[in-house]
Chains A and B, each alone.
Chain A
Amino acid sequence: DTEVTQTPKHLVMGMTNKKSLKCEQHMGHRAMYWYKQKAKKPPELMFVYSYEKLSINESVPSRFSPECPNSSLLNLHLHALQPEDSALYLCASSRDRENTANTIYFGEGSWLTVV
Chain B
Amino acid sequence: AQTVTQSQPEMSVQEAETVTLSCTYDTSESDYYLFWYKQPPSRQMILVIRQEAYKQQNATENRFSVNFQKAAKSFSLKISDSQLGDAAMYFCAYRSSTEKLTFGTGTRLTIIP
A residues lining the B interface (CB < 8 Å): 2, 40-43, 45, 48, 56, 88, 90, 92, 98, 100-101, 103-109, 111
Contacts and interface: CB of A to CB of B under 8 A. Distances in A.
13 contacts: A40-B106, A41-B105, A42-B91, A90-B45, A92-B45, A98-B97, A100-B95, A101-B33, A103-B35, A104-B95, A106-B44, A107-B44, A111-B43
Contacts of A48: 100
Nearest to B103: A42
Identify whether the interface residues of B are mostly helix, strand, loop, or mixed.
strand
Nearest to A2: B44
Given A41-B105, A42-B106, A88-B43, A100 B32 contact: yes
B32 A42 contact: no
Identify whether the interface residues of A are mostly helix, strand, loop, or mixed.
loop
A35 B35 CA distance: 17
B47 interface: yes
Contacts of A101: 33, 52
Contact of A109 (B43, B96, B105, B106): B43
Contacts of B104: 42
Nearest to B52: A101
B27 to A, nearest CB: 12
